[in-house]
Structure 1
Amino acid sequence: MSGRVHLDRDAGVAKLRLDNPAKLNAFTSAMLDDLAVHCDAIERDRTIRAVLLTAEPSRAFCAGADIKAWADLSPADFARHWVRDGHRVFDRLARLSKPTIAVIGAHAFGGGLELAAACDIRVIAPTATLALPETQVGIVPGWSGTQRLTRLLPEPVLKEMTLFGRRLNAERAFACGFVAEVSDDPLSIALQIAEHLRKTSPRATETAKYMIHAAVGEDRAAMIEALGSGMIAASDDKAEGVAAFADKRQPVFTGR
Structure 2
Amino acid sequence: MNYQNILIAKEHNIATIIINRPDKLNALNKVTIQELHHAFSVLETHHDVRAIIISGSGEKAFVAGADIAEFAEFSVEEGIQLSAQGQETLFNFVENLRVPVIAAINGFALGGGLELAMACHIRVASDNAKMGLPEVSLGVIPGYGGTQRLPQLIGKGRALEMILSAAMISAEEGYRVGLVNHITKPDELLDFCYEIAQKIIKNSPAAIAMAIHAVNANFREGENGYETEIKSFGKCFGTVDFKEGTKAFLEKRKAVFTGE
TM-score (norm 2): 0.82
Q: Which runs of 5+ in 2 are unaligned?
A: 240-260
CA distance in 2, matches of 1:221, 1:95: 16
The residue identity in structure 2 corresponding to 1:201 is S
Displacement after TM superposition at 1:114 (Å) = 0.2
Q: Which residue of 1 aligns with 2:177?
A: 176
Cα distance in 2 for partners of 1:197, 1:70 equals 39
| Corresponding position of 1:249 | none
Amino acid at match of 1:204: A
Residue of structure 1 in register with 2:210 after alignment: 207
Report the structure number with the largest CA radius of gyration.
1
* SS class of match (1:146): helix
Give the conservation status (yes or no) of the 8 Å contact 1:123–1:180.
Answer: yes
| Ranges in structure 1 where 5+ consecutive residues have no aligned partner | 236-256
Say which SS state the counterpart of residue 140 (structure 1) adopts.
Answer: coil
The answer to whether residue 189 in structure 2 is matched with residue 186 in structure 1 is yes
Distance in 1, matches of 2:133 and 2:152, equals 16
What's the CA shift string for 1:118-161, capped at 9, x where partnerless? 00111101111111111111111100110122211122221121
- Displacement of 1:117 after TM fit? 0.1
The equivalent residue for 1:246 is: none
Matching of residue 61 in structure 1 with residue 68 in structure 2? no
CA distance in 2, matches of 1:161, 1:230: 40
Is the CA contact (8 Å cut-off) linking 2:210 and 2:232 kept in structure 1? no
> Match of 1:85?
85
Alignment correspondent of 1:129: 130
Q: CA deviation at 1:83?
A: 1.1
Compute the displacement of 1:200 (Å): 1.4
CA contact (8 A) 1:64 1:108 kept: yes
* Mapping 1:216-235, distance limit 5 Å: 216-217=219-220, 220=223, 224=228, 231=235, 234=238
Between the aligned partners of 2:221 and 2:198, the Cα distance in structure 1 is: 26
Is 1:197 the counterpart of 2:200? The answer is yes
Q: What whole-Å deviation, never above 9, does each CA across 1:158-206 have from its counterpart, x for those lacking one?
A: 1121111221111111111221110002111100111112331222222
Aligned match of 1:28: 29
What is the letter of the counterpart of residue 202 of structure 2?
K
CA offsets per residue over residues 77-117 of structure 1, 9 Å max, x none?
Answer: 1211x211211121111111111110001010000000000
- The answer for the alignment partner of 1:94 in structure 2 is 95
Identity score, percent: 30
Say what the alpha-carbon RMSD is for the aligned residues.
2.6
Q: Which runs of 4+ in 1 moved over 6 A?
A: none
Measure how far apart 1:216 and its partner are. 3.1
Tell me the SS of whatever aligns to 2:104: strand
- TM-score, scaled relative to structure 1: 0.83
CA deviation map 1:39-70 (0-9, x unaligned): 11011111111110111014221111001111
Distance between the aligned counterparts of 1:219 and 1:56, measured in 2? 39
Give the Cα–Cα distance (whole angstroms) in 1 for the partners of residues 155 and 53 of structure 2: 25
1: CA distance, partners of 2:236 / 2:208: 18
Question: Per-residue deviation at 1:220?
Answer: 5.0
